[in-house]
Amino acid sequence: GAGVSQSPSNKVTEKGKDVELRCDPISGHTALYWYRQSLGQGLEFLIYFQGNSAPDKSGLPSDRFSAERTGGSVSTLTIQRTQQEDSAVYLCASSLAEAGEGYGYTFGSGTRLTVV
Amino acid sequence: GQQVMQIPQYQHVQEGEDFTTYCNSSTTLSNIQWYKQRPGGHPVFLIQLVKSGEVKKQKRLTFQFGEAKKNSSLHITATQTTDVGTYFCAGNNNDMRFGAGTRLTVKP
């Protein structure tokens, strides 16, 4: 597609429920990041995928968080047993090369997750 | 792990005044990128710096990369209301880590 697409754009869920967030990167982009941004705050790194390499999961805050990237394209971020502190905007970004080498990242519009 | 610190957290200026945000890394970076996030929007890529001591300009914006490739700055000359937003640096050293951002507000 023309840009990075994220769905849903908004998600309200009850505490304890599982949620799945989807990211459809720009076609051909090998690098994909997930970040989390709380209101008025910076970008918190969650996970990084680069091609067929093992993902860098060092930013995932707990074992309730997991992510996968199928076929080197679409990625899903899953949060199990959601907690209120999980409420944030979840941003996905993709790039043509690894770690932004020579290329900037294109961000999606994010998924605003609210846990009630 | 890699840490990227950015200051100031907030900056409020009168239209026409200059603005600078600074970024410092705990480790040497392969490159650094700058992004702008408008209120309610998502980060948009501005520029990448790669070389030690590099300086790049985009109209009223001047970007610098330190000699040691551990710090960078973004300077805006004669701010306008359209410059409002949060400016983030992102340091690359095997992966990309963002600074906390500097939120710029401009009073007309």
Task: Report pLDDT digits (tens) over A29-62.
Answer: 988 999 999 987 889 999 999 888 889 999 999 9
Under DSSP, the state recorded for B97 is E
Closest Cβ–Cβ partner in B6, B43, B100 for A107: B43
More confidently predicted of B51 and A1 = B51
pLDDT computed for residue B93 by the predictor = 80
Q: Residue A63, class by beta-carbon neighbours within 10 Å (0-12 exposed, 13-18 middle, 19+ buried)?
A: exposed
**pLDDT tens digit sequence for B14-46:** 999 999 999 999 999 999 999 999 998 999 999
pLDDT computed for residue A13 by the predictor = 98
**pLDDT tens digit sequence for B94-105:** 778 889 999 999
Closest Cβ–Cβ partner in B46, B88, B95 for A43: B88
Confidence band (pLDDT; 50, 70, 90) for A109? very high
Core vs surface per residue B51-86: b (16+ CB within 10 A) or e: eeebebeeeebbbbbbeebbbbbbebeebeeebebb
> What average pLDDT does the segment A74-93 reach?
97
- Residues of chain A with a CB closer than 8 angstroms to some CB in chain B: 33, 35, 40-43, 45, 48, 56, 58, 91, 93, 99-110
pLDDT computed for residue B2 by the predictor = 65
CA geometry: angle B74, B80, B84, nearest 5 deg: 65
Q: Which residues of B fall within a CB distance of 8 Å from A56?
A: 95
Q: What are the phi and psi torsion angles at A72 (to 5°)?
A: 70, 15
CA A115 remoteness from chain centre: 17
What residue in B sits closest to A105 (Cα-Cα)? B45
More confidently predicted of A79 and A52 = A79
> What average pLDDT does the segment A65-82 reach?
94
Q: Which residues of B fall within a CB distance of 8 Å from A49?
A: none
Q: Write the CA distances from B54 to B47, B73, B100, integer angstroms.
A: 12, 11, 23
Residues of B numbered 52-81 whose beta carbons fall under 8 angstroms of chain A's beta carbons: which are they?
Answer: none
Q: Is the pLDDT confidence value at A1 over 80?
A: no
Distance from CA of A82 to the nearest CA of B (A): 24
What residue in B sits closest to A91 (Cα-Cα)? B42
Q: Is the pLDDT confidence value at B10 over 80?
A: yes
Closest Cβ–Cβ partner in B41, B92, B103 for A100: B92
pLDDT computed for residue A83 by the predictor = 97
> What average pLDDT does the segment A9-34 reach?
95
Q: Do A43 and B98 touch (CB under 8 A)?
A: yes
